[in-house]
Amino acid sequence: MPDGPPFVSFLSDYGRTDEFVGVCHGVMLDITPGLQIVDVTHDVPAFDVRAGALTLVRAVQYLPDGVVLAVVDPGVGTDRRCIAVEVDGGFLVGPDNGLLAPAVAMLGGPKRIVALDKPEFQLPAPGPTFAGRDVMAPAAAYLAGGLALGELGSSVDAAGLAPGLVPLPQEGDDGSIAGEVLWVDRYGNCQLNIAPEQLAERGAAPGGFVGVTIGGRDRRAHWVTAFADAKPSELALLVDSYGMCTLALDRRSAASELELRAGKSVTVVALAEGQA
């Protein structure tokens, strides 16, 4: 853990309408009064573990060293575990449902994992359905305050960590790449699970064109460097700030106009000069 004020970076699907986020803040600050809390987002779609995992893996490399508390937990109250994972730079705390796994891999893999099963480091729970408040937030605060990981619970074999749900693209014999939309941001830009290197290996390059098939309909996208490089009516493909291929329209929502959402299938293929 770094010297100086401890950090907890907090991500959830709690939203801001109810008191859930503020209560978790209060619990953590009561345990570790000097804590600094970074609210990454609390607008992960409700119950969407995959969306939470993707949000976390995009963000985690930019968060301060310390503790990451991630809560997207549709299995709350069941026998799924709450865990804390030691990684380079600190700890990740959350449910063992695949939410943490991609971020753990991004950070070089787990050093140690414990199940949060020591009641003395939890709040007395009136009911089992708010483990974020009663189990995970206290664990995050105790870790940020310097408590040794092993004090929080029993060891877990790293091989037993629930895997992430991040889909991989499929490469076709015809040079196409069958992928899907990973994420739609607030501007309607659609991040794909396709890396630019995969397109480059098939002959596509910035400034050229690629074929895009969505829902059985074929389109052409111009591979540009910036949103404004695309013509007003032109579908653009560019490399986003996380290094992935993204479909976009300049100052318009590609998601709305192309009827795209997270999980929607998209096939991309490099176009020869004559096809462009």
Q: Domains in the chain, ordered, with CATH? A: 7-160 (3.40.50.10790), 170-270 (2.40.30.90)
pLDDT at site 233: 84
Cα angle value 240/107/196 (rounded, 5°): 25
Report the alpha-carbon distance of residue 223 to residue 206 in Å, rounded. Answer: 5
pTM score over 0.95: no
- pLDDT score of 275 more than 60: no
Q: What is the pLDDT of residues 138-192, one digit of tens each?
A: 999 999 999 999 999 999 999 989 998 788 899 998 889 999 999 999 999 999 9
Percent of residues, the chain, with pLDDT higher than 90: 89
- pLDDT score of 246 more than 80: yes
Q: What is the pLDDT of residues 29-65, one digit of tens each?
A: 999 999 999 999 999 999 999 999 999 999 999 999 9
pLDDT at site 273: 62
Question: Are the C-beta atoms of residues 75 and 81 closer than 8 Å to each other?
Answer: no
DSSP 137-185: HHHHHHHHTT--GGGGS-B--GGGSPPP-----EE-TTS-EEEEEEEE-
Residue 175 CA: distances (Å) to CA of 167, 195, 246:
19, 14, 19
- pLDDT score of 266 more than 70: yes
Q: What is the pLDDT of residues 79-96, one digit of tens each?
A: 999 999 999 999 999 999
Report the alpha-carbon distance of residue 271 to residue 43 in Å, rounded. Answer: 38
Q: What is the pLDDT of residues 110-119, one digit of tens each?
A: 999 999 999 9
Q: How does DSSP classify residue 121? A: G
- pLDDT score of 196 more than 50: yes
